[in-house]
Chain A
Amino acid sequence: MMNRETWRSEERLRIENLSKHFGGLRAVDSCSFKILPHRIYGLIGPNGSGKTTLFNTITGIFPPTGGSVIFNDEDITGFPSYEITRRGIARTFQLVQIYPEMTVLENLLVGAQSQLGESVVLSLLRTPAVRRETRDLVDKAMSLLRVTEMERLADHRAGDIPYGEQKMVEIMRALMTGPELILLDEPTSGLNPSLVARILDYIRYLRDEEGQTFIIVEHNMRVIMSVCEEIIVLNVGRKIAQGTPEEVSRNPEVIRAYLGE
């Protein structure tokens, strides 16, 4: 089988002069950067610097005011969020947004793309192909739960399990979409240190074993510095720096943005 990477350009995602304005507020202001595959990127910046808005603009929750989003050489600017997910960008949310009344297993099953069982006719007939698909998806979901040692929670209501596990469920649900780029919005906020370590291990595992690409928004600098290979710094909607953790932490403009004049 031909490796898809061989004919694709090097970059996974390219953002060109991307802007999102809310009236006079320039939440994201002419940002440009490139994301290469199989790497973990950090996206940092003081509160209100536009990190989550940037995520929402890339994933189509808001249409951008200007600029473009190129994913795997395709211009996806202004696509609705479900089209963007289908093309391979998955995400998690700052405040966990799982489906609380559904079980953990059901949450993961929803993540799978273009299921036969989503068709009104096929789901009514419950054809052998639909049944096989359900079996395969359950197997896939259960193998994810096995890796994270959450198998026993499969049939629990997602709203009832601990917060840290809910965050894991959200990451696994994103994985079920078969993504080539995963955007994580504060994956470790509100978690105790052992859970933080568990989530970081999982992110590294997915990068190393499955070649996943991540962009992570985080406030916890220790997390960012330990897991990211490259960091993009936003301030008041603009990109002020990009580089390795060492470069960024020495950058005078970054220090000024965080500590003031």
Chain B
Amino acid sequence: MELLPLVLHVLNVIVIWAVLSLSLNFLQGTAGLFNLGHAAFFCVGAYASALLAKAGLPWIVCLLASVLFPALLALVYGLPTLRLKADYFATVTMGIGEIIRAVANNLQGVTGGPNGVPSIPCPSLFGFQFSRGPGTLVLGCVVLLLTYLALDRWRRSGFGRVLIAAREDPTAAQAMGKDTYHFRLNCFLLSAGFAGIAGSLFAYYYGYISPGDFGLWVAYNLTLTLTIGGSGNYRGTMLAAAVFIIMRDGLRFLPLPPTAQGPLQQLLFGLLMIVIMWRFPQGLIPEVPTITFAKHSSQRSEESWESQA
């Protein structure tokens, strides 16, 4: 196989995986809400874009639908479950993840059932057609950058600090006048929306989706990625997404017999986990403070210097 298509493929998948991992890190790393059914939002986002794109709707409408439908799903089951303690919440999410996949598998009239949705058209904007490969990569990079910037702003704001406080000690966060339920619900909706965007990118890049793409393995691999990168650190997540995808998809292109690849992959992931736990227990890049006095005061002195000048 030629090198360029391989590199393009790996980069595309890295970008999609990075957006999905970031959306989960916001919820799980920053807000401390374990979501074992994050694949549900990814799945709904992917199907929304795939089905609407096949119906001939423009890319931007499909993308919007991929944000709204997962957010709606998050609202429906977040409203009752976010009042639960974090560990009960995690259990519920796992169930939801499987329910959504089962629905995709069995609602044949809409989703095509186990056969999935084939031949999804390429995205286009103002008459410009994004090709599968280079075009989707450019699009994906823009989306990834915006996702990172948005999530990072939220994390570094008062909003993010309340999420972290509620993760650290929910009772003490409430005693500081914070309606933690309200903050967590907002975080959950945003996280679902971004996971849906990742689903949209996924559907457009592959051009074919099926329920098998959204199994429990997604939750396992996301947890692996967050653990490698550093829970609560978004740069770490992007780095880990690259490491994970290169190990998973890059390996396939080595001249190895197919029977050896699966076990080798598992072996490498296992080793990687051990090394991370041993040398980097907080991940490659640990969580950093949302604000520091040192940096804040230096920015201020610059500002005052500018105003004098």
Query: Which partner residue on chain A sits nearest B153 by CB separation?
Result: A124
Among B159, B175, B287, residue most surrounded by chain A Cβ atoms (within 10 Å):
B175
Contact B177 A82 (CB under 8 A): yes
Min C-beta distance of B24 to chain A, whole Å: 18
| Given A82-B178, A99-B172, also A138-B165 (CB < 8 A) | no
Task: Report the Cα distance A158→B173, complex, angstroms.
Answer: 15
| Given A91-B175, A115-B158, also A99-B287 (CB < 8 A) | no
Contact A155 B294 (CB under 8 A): yes
Whether, in the assembled complex, B157 has its beta carbon less than 8 Å from a beta carbon of chain A, the answer is: yes
Find residues 129-151 in chain A having any chain B CB closer than 8 Å to their own CB.
130, 133-135, 138, 142
Task: Report the Cα distance A42→B299, complex, angstroms.
Answer: 44
Q: Which residues of A contact B291 (CB under 8 A)?
A: 105-106, 109, 134, 138
Min C-beta distance of A234 to chain B, whole Å: 21
Contact B158 A81 (CB under 8 A): no
| Given A123-B154, A134-B291, A138-B291, also A93-B164 (CB < 8 A) | no
Task: Report the Cα distance A110→B183, complex, angstroms.
Answer: 13
Whether, in the assembled complex, A34 has its beta carbon less than 8 Å from a beta carbon of chain B, the answer is: no
Q: Which residues of B contact A81 (CB under 8 A)?
A: 171, 174-175
Task: Report the Cα distance A114→B178, complex, angstroms.
Answer: 9
Q: Which residues of B contact A80 (CB under 8 A)?
A: 174, 179
Contact B153 A98 (CB under 8 A): no
Contact A86 B177 (CB under 8 A): yes
Q: Which residues of A contact B154 (CB under 8 A)?
A: 120, 123-124
From A91, A102, A155, give the contact of B165 (CB < 8 A).
A102
Whether, in the assembled complex, A213 has its beta carbon less than 8 Å from a beta carbon of chain B, the answer is: no
Contact B157 A126 (CB under 8 A): yes
Contact A110 B175 (CB under 8 A): no
Whether, in the assembled complex, B300 has its beta carbon less than 8 Å from a beta carbon of chain A, the answer is: yes
Contact A110 B162 (CB under 8 A): yes
Find residues 173-193 in chain B having any chain A CB closer than 8 Å to their own CB.
173-180, 183, 186, 190
How many A-B pairs with Cβ below 8 Å?
Answer: 118
Q: Which residues of A contact B176 (CB under 8 A)?
A: 82, 85, 110-111, 173, 177
Contact B159 A120 (CB under 8 A): yes
Min C-beta distance of B174 to chain A, whole Å: 5
Contact B165 A110 (CB under 8 A): yes
Whether, in the assembled complex, A236 has its beta carbon less than 8 Å from a beta carbon of chain B, the answer is: no
The proximity string for A residues 75-96 relative to B, scoring 1 for CB distances below 8 Å and 0 otherwise, is 0000011100110001101000
Q: Which residues of B contact A110 (CB under 8 A)?
A: 161-162, 165, 173, 176, 178
Whether, in the assembled complex, B296 has its beta carbon less than 8 Å from a beta carbon of chain A, the answer is: yes
Min C-beta distance of B154 to chain A, whole Å: 6
Task: Report the Cα distance A110→B180, complex, angstroms.
Answer: 12
Contact A142 B172 (CB under 8 A): no
Contact B172 A117 (CB under 8 A): no
Whether, in the assembled complex, A244 has its beta carbon less than 8 Å from a beta carbon of chain B, the answer is: no
Among A61, A106, A109, residue most surrounded by chain B Cβ atoms (within 10 Å):
A106
| Given A102-B165, A123-B153, A124-B154, also A177-B159 (CB < 8 A) | no
Find residues 286-309 in chain B having any chain A CB closer than 8 Å to their own CB.
287, 289-294, 296, 300
Contact B183 A118 (CB under 8 A): yes
Whether, in the assembled complex, B87 has its beta carbon less than 8 Å from a beta carbon of chain A, the answer is: no
Contact B172 A97 (CB under 8 A): yes
Task: Report the Cα distance A102→B292, complex, angstroms.
Answer: 11
Min C-beta distance of B268 to chain A, whole Å: 31
A-B contact pairs, 14 of them (CB 8 A): A80-B179, A81-B175, A82-B175, A99-B173, A101-B287, A105-B289, A109-B291, A110-B165, A111-B177, A118-B162, A124-B153, A133-B158, A134-B291, A135-B300
Inter-chain pairs besides A85-B174, A85-B176, A86-B177, 4 sampled, C-beta below 8 Å: A81-B174, A93-B172, A124-B153, A155-B292
State the B residues within 8 Å of A (CB).
150, 153-154, 157-162, 164-165, 168-169, 171-180, 183, 186, 190, 287, 289-294, 296, 300
**The 9 A-B residue pairs with the shortest CB-CB distance in the complex, in nearest-first order:** A117-B158, A123-B157, A85-B177, A99-B168, A115-B158, A154-B293, A97-B172, A118-B158, A81-B174
State the A residues within 8 Å of B (CB).
59, 61, 80-82, 85-86, 90-91, 93, 97-103, 105-106, 109-113, 115-120, 123-124, 126, 130, 133-135, 138, 142, 154-155, 173, 177
